[in-house]
Chain A
Amino acid sequence: MSGIVSYGSYIPYYRIKPEEIARIWGDEPERMKKNLFILSKSVPSPDEDVASISVEAARNALKRKDINPEEIGAIYVGSESHPYAVKPTATIVAAAIGMPLEYFAADYEFACKAGTAGMQNVKAMVDSNYIKYGFAIGSDTSQGAPGDALEYTASAGGTAMLIGKDNVIAEINDTLSVSTDTPDFWRREGEPYPKHGERFTGEPGYFKHVIAASKAIMERNDMKNSDYDYAVFHQPNGKFPTRAAKILGFTEEQYKTGLLTPYIGNTYSGSMMTGLSAVLDESKPGDRILAVSFGSGAGSDAFDITVTDKMKDYKRDNAPTVKKLIEKVKFIDYGMYTKFRKIIITGDSVE
């Protein structure tokens, strides 16, 4: 069966704390921390973007499994902050990992679930023998308007999943999607920041889709919540996935490994995939994982995954684990944050 052959993540080095954002906008820091369950979020440095993050994630995946790039037949990068509106991130990543001329490539966009949509697509191409291996990457340097609640969580990071049939360390037993036309969150063409329906993003958006997709995949595979060792969900903040897990009857033991938002913020397209990466970092053969993403607008992709025996020989330590990636960080203040995020503009015309 097809599944994950290798995986790699990347999270920038810089962090900002909610206290610092609250200080600027006159919010109560403790209330924001509690309401959003956020302790810090990652900030991309001025020389980082979705292309550089995706390359680092993909290179980390290739460090763990020595796959000849010539055998990688597809690459899809899901993001809502691609560096170019027109010109693919996927080809930049492919060039940086040495992929040959003949491969399938595209950039995906489905709010925060574009990366997992890529996983489904690559899996389908592997299953239909179009390609031997393919990369699906979810990565973002997400935008949150200054002063908006999103600013506390919108962060940067990404994860690359190499999918194939040979050397599978985690089989993807099943995947499905649910989708509706729901205006919970959007960004119009040319606009720098997304808009959202505040509390409307919860029930009709996040919870409706995450729960429907989770229930559907469990039902289709005759699984119940207690059959899983791990459950990982899209995590726009620390609170939503915790509540979703509880509604579905998962225990803290099952969801805590994949819950990263409190430490790194919401990496949007990288969110659930990086949570899954953290789970794979610790998983052992036989472990069963439920992984469910969510993208506004709206939809959820659910995955039922089983870790294989191949995980034993897999060289996880050849690349930094998610734990390692959040170990060495540097906290910056809001002024530095605005400089990094180009919220303040400089007087120079070319930069």
Chain B
Amino acid sequence: MLNNVYIIGAGETKFGELWDKSLRNLAVEAGLKAIENAGVYSKDIDAIYGANGLAGTINEQENIGALIADFSGLSNEGIPALRVEASTASGAAAVREAYLSIKSGEYDLVVVGGVEKMTDIHGSSILEKMSSILDREWEAFFGATPAAMAALIARKYMNDFNVEKEALSMFSVNDHLNASKNPDAQYRNKLTLEQAMGATPIADPLNMMDCSPISDGAAAIVLASENFVKKNKKEGVKILSSAVAEDYLSVGSRESIYTLNSAKLAAEKAFKKAGIKRDDISFLEVHDSFSIYGLLELEDLGFAEKGKAKNMVYDDIKLNGRLPVNPSGGLKAKGDPYGAVGIGQVVDAYKQLMEKAGEGQIKNARYALLHNMAGTGASSIVHILGE
């Protein structure tokens, strides 16, 4: 049975330090925006998938599915609402679960929301919580942070392929430039290369401008079956494929520390299922929680040879370049609210493909590839959207 899945609505909160908004405020805000945008009603909703990474540790709140449904006013209807967790790739994981639920014929209309409230812990304590996306017992226990692990990968990569720090910084410069056109982005300031190169050190060779910020935010989309779309005369963007792959949890266990094998495998599967080629892709949203990952992802998703992504970062990845990357502003500038990231990527891609991206609109955008990654590359989820 073939049952195509469409994105028929999308909405998100602003990403950033949203002091006056709680975990539940954010989730509800994004959800309502998406539902309104899709023009559907509570009676239409078959299920909700809620994505979240760290509410259990940061906000000491589990049961996120029920929480979202409850404060969206859907408790009386008893609509199924489950949380999907895949660390920093929770967002795309929830999209995928929702996609599969419609593909299977079980549901016709599903709301997928992702939320993270990270600023409710102050000081360096948040770093301890964020480090739980690593192998806690054998990496974080010994003083590793997500930035430190990315730095270890970056050092070896730069060393082995003769890549200058500038190439990494250019990735952040591009993110900031794109974010300046995205009203929902956390950082809308343009970043000069000089600023990017000279920022406060975090974990050498990475500095603060190589690292995504600590963000609050939520994003939501409405997925519908082909049936629903036809019956209700909805417009939407088709999910051409969804694929996920895993790698070792700790960086040291991997065959090559600068190869994101999960991204490689997920991209291969996603292209095979989508039936399109890399050349068909109009733009990418990649999981650049650290600038180094941006370069590795271009390579491992198959858009550059190993060690050669440095040739793309000056022109190709720009909004008007050969292959625009992170038109949203990426994790560095749009923001990195863990569980909301993967869905935020879909929100932006949906706008692009519907030609509703405003100032940041890419001309003739037809196909988008979205990559959401967990931890240091332990899981990758790739979605290809278009048509």
The interface of chain A, by Cβ under 8 A from chain B, is 347-348
Contacts and interface: CB of A to CB of B under 8 A. Distances in A.
B125 interface: yes
Interface residues of B, number: 3
The 4 closest A-B pairs by CB, nearest first: A348-B124, A348-B123, A347-B123, A348-B125
A347 B125 CA distance: 11
Interface in B69-92: none
A348 B124 CA distance: 8
Nearest to A347: B123
4 contacts: A347-B123, A348-B123, A348-B124, A348-B125
B128 to A, nearest CB: 8
Contacts of A347: 123
Name the prevailing secondary structure of the B interface residues: loop
A347 B123 CA distance: 9
A262 to B, nearest CB: 35
Interface in B110-138: 123-125
A198 B2 CA distance: 91
Contacts of B123: 347-348
Contacts of B125: 348
A256 to B, nearest CB: 42
A348 B126 CA distance: 12
A348 B121 CA distance: 13
A161 to B, nearest CB: 32
A46 to B, nearest CB: 12
Contacts of B124: 348
B50 to A, nearest CB: 30
A348 to B, nearest CB: 7
A252 B374 CA distance: 66
B274 to A, nearest CB: 48
Contacts of A348: 123-125
Nearest to B125: A348
A347 B124 CA distance: 10
B210 to A, nearest CB: 25
A59 B124 CA distance: 36
A211 B221 CA distance: 86
B368 to A, nearest CB: 43
A350 to B, nearest CB: 8
B91 to A, nearest CB: 30
B72 to A, nearest CB: 36
Nearest to B124: A348
A250 B125 CA distance: 58
B75 to A, nearest CB: 38
A348 B123 CA distance: 8
A4 to B, nearest CB: 36
A11 B328 CA distance: 55
